[in-house]
Structure 1
Amino acid sequence: MTANRGRSQSGSRVLAAAGAALLLAGCGDVSPGAAATIDGEAISVDEVDEYARAVCAAETTGAELAQQPHTPTSTSTQRESVLTILINAELAELAVDEFDLQVPPSAAATPDSAATAQLFEAMAAEDAGTAASYQEYDATLRRLVAVAIAIGAEQTGGQKSEQVLASAGGAWLASYAEDHDVQVDPRFGDFTSGRVVGGSGSLSVASGGESGGGSEANLADLPASQICR
């Protein structure tokens, strides 16, 4: 990896912050059933929907376990977030292969904590399939953050916190995307500066009658089926 491209977890808190930093190019025709393609590799609408439902379940279950209120979110916003992670995860693996990055499996391992185990167990008791989907998505996110940290270390010299390194790696990946053919179904939005933003509207064909847009300002106007509570 060239350090001069010029484009520029030690726990769940770091992972969440790093993941948010990665949610910081292009839009065009995609294959039928695909939410996005990266150099021709498709991310299916079904995969995005499956993970978005799993994330919603994890958020609501986590809030219940913590005895905290859960802030409602539109499911279209969750789809945008999930698709952002999946696109960046694919780009991260391309970078790993291209630049022979060394990312030890332990760097992306799910922490062996009571809270994590309790969440997975509670989700599995409710719906084993959804719990399995969430664990897959969680592993994808952790792998992405681990790769971003490795990239950030290459870019900065490594003498930074993991959160700073992940942010630097995320910025690099956003630039790296410009060298690749990233196409997003416009109903999900555009992939800009490393994230999917602002769907054009009707996701009804791809996602069972759900409108897009993702605006939390209109949350009160959405039917219950389009809100993660």
Structure 2
Amino acid sequence: MTRVSPRLCTGAVLAAASAVLLTGCGAVPDLNPGVAVSVGDDTVTTRHVADLAADYCKAAAPQLQGQALSRHYLNGRVAGSLAVRSAADQMLADHDVEVDASYAAAVKQAEAQLKDMTGAQRDAIVEVQGSSVYVAAAEIAVGKAVLGSSASDDEVKAAGQKEFLAWLDDHDVRIDPRYGVAIEKGEAVLKDTSLSHAVSGTAKQADATTPDSTYAATLPPTQRCG
């Protein structure tokens, strides 16, 4: 079993962390026990998602400014980020290219801003917040490989995005429905993917796709961030 390794963080550190938004391919059941995400031949364990979300929560705490956030959203963001990052990794491998240098530059800039965090917290920000930057850099690298050096930046970007969407369409991408996230148009997005229907008001708040800080504040410490 493999898992995605930590990579990047953007300069806008945890911007709008309380409004966790995600993107991605499909959320599909029938995963093996203990598996949170399955992308092609790569898998991510539920333990890795939980551990990364815990570090991400600690890193996000100052940005939340006393607002509470349900762990449901953090777990979903982590799972979705790992899914698209893994897909981008495998697309790069299929084209036998390395991620564009713009990613390393973004990581360097972000890590300078995160120097006061612990290593685990910094890695969590890099791995989760930086997933969209990693995907964009992967698309650039693949776009260049497909079109050659004479193509414009816009043409390279468009070609890379097309290749990424095609890769997602051609490969099995599964995210455990418990995380409430799906991959759509190449991005991880919060979505009601549960197999059951919430009945009580509390249950509906727990499954809502828009974070509710008032509700989150009533949750036990182990189920919230902040």
Normalised by the length of structure 2, the TM-score is 0.64
CA contact (8 A) 1:26 1:183 kept: yes
SS in structure 1 opposite 2:177? Answer: coil
SS in structure 1 opposite 2:29? Answer: coil
The letter of the residue matching 1:23 is: T
Equivalent residue for 2:200? none
List aligned pairs for 1:135-174, cutoff 5 A: 135=126, 137=128, 142-151=133-142, 157-160=151-154, 165=157, 169=160, 172-174=163-165
Q: Does residue 56 of the first structure (1) align with residue 57 of the second (2)?
A: yes
Q: Does residue 42 of the first structure (1) align with residue 43 of the second (2)?
A: yes
Query: Mean Cα displacement is larger for which, 80-89 or 215-224?
Result: 215-224
Normalised by the length of structure 1, the TM-score is 0.63
How far apart, in 1, do the equivalents of 2:143 and 2:66 lie?
A: 33
Equivalent residue for 2:80? 84
CA RMSD of aligned residues (A): 4.2
CA contact (8 A) 1:27 1:183 kept: yes
Equivalent residue for 1:12? 11
Q: Structure 1 residues 103 and 187, CA, compared in 2 at 3 Å: closer, same or farther? A: closer
Find 1:177's aligned residue among 129, 153, 168.
168
Equivalent residue for 1:207? none
Offset from partner CA, 1:128-180 (integer Å, 9 cap, x none) = 5444544555676654342133345657x442499xx4x87556534421211
Give 1:93 deviation, angstroms. 1.4
Aligned-residue sequence identity (percent) comes to 24
The letter of the residue matching 2:175 is: V
How far apart, in 2, do the equivalents of 1:57 and 1:213 lie?
A: 23
CA contact (8 A) 2:29 2:177 kept: yes
How far apart, in 1, do the equivalents of 2:134 and 2:177 lie?
A: 27
Equivalent residue for 2:104? 108
Equivalent residue for 1:187? 178
Q: Does residue 216 of the first structure (1) align with residue 210 of the second (2)?
A: yes
Equivalent residue for 1:31? 32
Give 1:110 deviation, angstroms. 5.0
Gaps in structure 2 of 5+ consecutive residues: 1-7, 197-204
Give 1:43 deviation, angstroms. 0.8
SS in structure 2 opposite 1:191? Answer: strand
CA contact (8 A) 1:80 1:189 kept: yes
Q: Structure 1 residues 173 and 199, CA, compared in 2 at 3 Å: closer, same or farther? A: same
Equivalent residue for 1:227? 224
Give 1:82 deviation, angstroms. 1.4
